[in-house]
Amino acid sequence: MAGAASALFLLDIKGRVLVWRDYRGDVTAAQAERFFTKLIEKEGDSQSNDPVAYDNGVTYMFVQHSNIYLMIASRQNCNAASLLFFLHRVVDVFKHYFEELEEESLRDNFVVVYELLDEMMDFGYPQYTEARILSEFIKTDAYRMEVTQRPPMAVTNAVSWRSEGLQFKKNEVFLDVIESVNILVNSNGQIVRSDVVGALKMRTYLSGMPECKLGLNDRVLLEAQGRATKGKAIDLEDIKFHQCVRLARFENDRTISFIPPDGAFDLMTYRLSTQVKPLIWVEAQIERHSRSRVEMLVKARSQFKERSTATNVEIELPVPTDASNPNVRTSLGSAAYAPEKDALVWKIKSFPGNKEYMLRAEFHLPSITAEEATPERKAPIRVKFEIPYFTVSGIQVRYLKIIEKSGYQALPWVRYITMAGEYELRLM
C-alpha cells in the first residue's frame, strides 16, 4: 500500500496555520513553517508551479484555493498524485458545506472542519470524500453543526459508492464476462495485430451492505494453492479494478473481495496479448469479366468448436464505389447492398462452429470510365459477431459468494460472451 499522509495543514495567504490535523505523530507544526519557506524559495523559479516539494525527509504536497493553502506533509514514500487528488476533494467538500472556501469560512466553522477531516482521512489514508455521503452524517445550518445520532461512518463501514439501507424483495447478482477480440489481417493473410480485451460487468440488486468474494481460474492463485493448472488456468494481464475492490487483499492472496455499488458497474477489465486464431475467417475473390461486370466469391469459415455457435454475424464486404444492381446468392443468411457504405452486408443469424458458407455476388459497373481514374480504394472486410457461452481466454468464474449480516440467500447469475472488437481482414 502507498505511504500515508502524516498531517494536513490549512494555511492563510501569509503562511499562518489556521487548522492542522495530525494523523501519524511523525511531524510537528513546524513543518508548516518549513513548507512556507520552501514555497517562497520556489517563487520566480521555472518550476514554481510544481505542487510537490521535498525537504529534510518530508514531502510537501499542496494546492491553493482562493486565499487558502491546503498542504499535506508526509515522511513516507507516498503516492503524491493520489494525495493531491484528495486535497481537491477536500476543497469540493468544504465548498459544499460553506458555499465558499476562504479564510473567513474556515474561522467560522472550525468544529465542522475538524469533524470533516476526521471522517475524510484515517491514520493518513483517504477514506470518504463524497459530500453526498458525508452530508448524511454531518449537517450544517449557516455556522452551526448538527451531528445525527447515527454512528459515524467508520463504525458502520459505509462506503462512498454505496448508500446504506438498500432493500430488495429478491436479492440477485448478474455477472457478464465479456471479451472483445481485436484482429487485423494483412493482404497476405498474416495476422499483424491480435489481442483480447475482457471485462467483468456486474449488475447487483442486493440488500444491506453485502461482502462479495469472486474466484477465477487465475494461474497465479491456483499455483499458490498447489492446484493443478494445466489447461485450466489463465494468465491475467493489465488488470484494472473498480474502486470497490480491496487491492491489498488481491495483492496478498489474489482474492477479489469487495462491497459492490448498487446497479451496473465494471468490476474488472483485463487484456490478453496472446496470438488469437481468427474465430471467423473470410476469403474473397474478385473477377472482372468485362469493364462493366464484376463477380465476387466469398467464403466464410467458423474456426471454433462445433459445440459453440456465433450469433448476429455481420460481414461487411467492400465493393467498387460505382457498383450497382447487385445479384446476390448465399448458402446461408441474407445479403444486402449498402451504397452509403460502398459495401455488401452479409448477415447470418446463427453460424455454428466448424462450418463454411459461401456468397456469390455480381455487380454492374458503368461502361464508361474516366481516362484518369483514381486508384481503387481497398477497404478491409469487417466482421461483427457474438458467441455466447464462450471465451477466447478460457477465463472461468470458480465461485461468487455473497455474505450479508442478515443472512439472506442471493442468486448469482454468470454469463460468458465473446464478441468482435476491431476485427478487420485486409484480403482484397
Residue 43 has pLDDT above 50, yes or no: yes
Residue 152 has pLDDT above 70, yes or no: no
Set of cell numbers at residue 59: 514531502
Q: What is the mean pLDDT of residues 262-275?
A: 90
Set of cell numbers at residue 138: 454531518
| pLDDT value, residue 26 | 87
Domains defined for the chain, CATH in brackets: 7-156 (3.30.450.60), 180-275+396-412 (2.60.40.1170), 280-368+377-388 (2.60.40.1170)
Count the neighbouring beta carbons within 10 Å of the beta carbon of residue 295: 14
| pLDDT value, residue 156 | 45
- pLDDT confidence tier of residue 322, bands split at 50, 70 and 90: confident
| pLDDT value, residue 308 | 96
**Dist. CA 119–CA 139, nearest whole Å:** 13
Contacts of 400 by beta carbon, 8 Å cutoff, 6+ apart? 173, 175, 212, 213, 214, 215, 412, 414
Say if residues 183 and 194 touch (Cβ distance below 8 Å).
yes
pLDDT in tens, 113-150: 888 888 888 888 888 888 777 877 776 553 433 334 44
β-pair type (334-338, 324-330): unpaired
| pLDDT value, residue 71 | 92
| pLDDT value, residue 219 | 66
Place of cell 481460474: 217
Set of cell numbers at residue 314: 455481420
**Dist. CA 23–CA 407, nearest whole Å:** 37
- pLDDT confidence tier of residue 201, bands split at 50, 70 and 90: very high
Handedness of CA 42, 47, 48, 54 (dihedral sign): negative
pLDDT in tens, 348-389: 999 999 999 999 999 887 765 554 445 455 789 999 999 999
Most confident of 8-22, 95-109, 270-284, 301-315: 301-315
Phi-psi map region of 280: left, alpha, beta (phi>0 left; psi -120 to 50 alpha): beta
Amino acid at 147: V
Set of cell numbers at residue 330: 448465399
Instruction: Say what the pTM is.
Output: 0.60
Contacts of 193 by beta carbon, 8 Å cutoff, 6+ apart? 182, 183, 184
| pLDDT value, residue 209 | 92
Residue 227 has pLDDT above 70, yes or no: no
Say if residues 172 and 413 touch (Cβ distance below 8 Å).
yes
**Dist. CA 282–CA 315, nearest whole Å:** 9
**Dist. CA 316–CA 381, nearest whole Å:** 6
Question: Could you tell me which of 390, 424, 402, 400 has the C-alpha nearest to residue 198?
Answer: 390
pLDDT in tens, 380-423: 999 999 999 999 988 899 899 999 999 999 989 999 999 999 99
Give the phi and the psi of residue 348 in degrees, each rounded to 5: -130, 115
- Determine the 3-state secondary structure of 74 from DSSP: strand
Residue 234 has pLDDT above 80, yes or no: no
Cα torsion 38, 39, 44, 47 to 10°: value is: 80
List the single range of 73-77, 251-255, 315-319, 396-400 with lowest mean pLDDT: 251-255
- pLDDT confidence tier of residue 2, bands split at 50, 70 and 90: low
